[in-house]
Structure 1
């Protein structure tokens, strides 16, 4: 699903710059993601893909440019002739629209599966325990983890922990879901289970998804647009069938050839 012409993008980067010391990771980046889009970022390590997700989670601050969520400035806005930081309260309100699933599962080891999922909805969204549990149980069924409801997360396999992490992100009812190499820490035999959960989400919800992955077949199946990054810039963007079958840029062909051969 994509937005109709004139609709406000779910995500928009305008001339965004991110530096780590002298290293320019994002160099005047411009791109947008329409509401309901499933966009995959591909490219070599260090090309800026994960940095984009971390900026959207406010885990990193940009050095310039503007990031908008549903048309609302996310961290800074331009007033008069200077950049002004968005007040923290307003930033948190916008931030609630975004959820993320990380490479490492980042679950609370001292809590059960259920407690991990209900913690944020209760304390951040102000939901009652009863409502938070009801939503958590729906999500545990969706990700195939109902029987592990009362297990400690340390008792779970990596694949099971990642499915709980997906449920935890969805429990906040985000409009946008960010996925950062969510299978990279998993054993190969359980990658398929996690990808199937994400395929189900893509098929049966209208959530906007921005993915970083090296699972090219998965990207081909769930994306409606793929962006190829190199040195902090988008060098090619196209529908998945086009970019995976007949990429325009030689750098894209080299990257895809290396990924597939590995």
Structure 2
């Protein structure tokens, strides 16, 4: 199977600090990969590199066989169309109603007609349980509802890859379950590839095909969730899991 995402000897530094150290990583199409590890271990930097929010110092990154780095601006624009991301903070446009939040990028980036984009947007709002909120402004929604809109907005681009960066960390505890249940549904009913950074270990165990343990910019070990959570090989993995489980 050809890899959908490939990191080849990728190094990222912030000042004197090496956040990713000659990282090799690959993700197959349709797989759900969860990155775990302590804060500062490099997990979110991987997502930020894939979103081209930061650039590596060394190495190459490809998505769908096309170069994400190094690449020129035209190449970047094309590859970005295949990638959607849901952030910790919802990052909705406060001056736009819910439906327009979802349709803005499909119209302006993918070139969809307004009617086609709105049809897709309404379908996705039904999917995330917010079909009655098309004309609401984000400020009228709860945190959990705003995060559902953010997930619908990412899916509206029909990405090959969905990046999830601690998507429940800004939510009140009673809202977390609903968002995680939605993501479980998306994982089981679509063929989108998911790369997830989370501290929700039960969620990681449920949805992941592969779990990667990071520490100090390196992958310490990886494997199916039942292996990583029940019988990890690395002492650092055991320490980390015993501290959070």
Normalising to structure 1: TM-score of the pair?
Answer: 0.93
CA RMSD of aligned residues (A): 0.6
Q: What is aligned with 2:228?
A: 243
2:196 alignment partner in structure 1: 211
Cα separation, 2, equivalents of 1:166 and 1:248: 34
Does 2:20 correspond to 1:31? no
**What is the CA–CA distance in structure 2 between the aligned matches of 1:90 and 1:27, rounded to whole Å?**
25
1:104 aligned residue (89, 92, 101): 89
- Equivalent residues in 2 for 1:151-190, closer than 5 Å: 151-190=136-175
Q: SS at the partner of 2:46?
A: helix
Give the distance between the partners of 2:22 and 2:103, measured in 1 at CA.
39
How much does 1:55 deviate? Answer: 0.2
CA distance in 2, matches of 1:254, 1:56: 29
Which residue of structure 2 lines up, in the alignment, with residue 65 of structure 1? 59
Whole-angstrom distance in 2 between the partners of 1:64 and 1:235: 20
Structure 2 match to 1:80: none
Q: Secondary structure at the match of 1:148?
A: coil
Does 1:134 pair with 2:128? Answer: no
Deviations 1:228-262 (A, max 9, x none): 000000001010001101111111011011111xx
CA distance in 2, matches of 1:164, 1:129: 18
> What SS class does the counterpart of residue 146 from structure 1 fall into?
coil
In the alignment, structure 2 segments of 5+ residues that lack a partner are none
Q: Verify the 8 A CA contact 2:106 2:112 in the aligned structure 1.
A: yes
Q: Match of 2:5?
A: 11
Q: Deviations over 1:125-167 (max 9, x none)?
A: 1100100000001100000011111100011110000000000
Residues 62-112 of structure 1: per-residue CA shift (max 9 Å, x gap): 000000001211121xxxxxxxxx221121001110000000000000011
| Aligned-partner Cα distance in 1 for 2:163–2:72 | 24
1:49 Cα deviation from its structure 2 partner: 0.2
In structure 1, stretches of 5+ residues that fail to align are 1-6, 77-85
Secondary structure of 2:180's aligned partner: helix
Distance in 1 separating the partners of 2:191 and 2:100: 26
- For 2:201 and 2:55, how far apart are their aligned partners in 1? 29
- Paired with 1:197 and 1:18, the residues of 2 have a C-alpha distance of 33
Following TM superposition, the consecutive aligned residue runs of length 4 or more in structure 1 with deviations greater than 3 angstroms are none
- Distance in 1, matches of 2:136 and 2:221, equals 45
Q: State the distance in 2 between where 1:227 and 1:67 align.
A: 18
Q: Quote the offset at 1:34 in angstroms.
A: 0.3
| CA–CA distance in structure 2, aligned partners of residues 87 and 250 of structure 1 | 42
Return the alpha-carbon distance in structure 2 between the equivalents of residues 47 and 163 of structure 1: 28
Alignment of 1:21 with 2:22, yes or no, is: no
Name the count of aligned residue pairs: 245
8 Å Cα contact 2:67/2:75 also seen in 1 = no
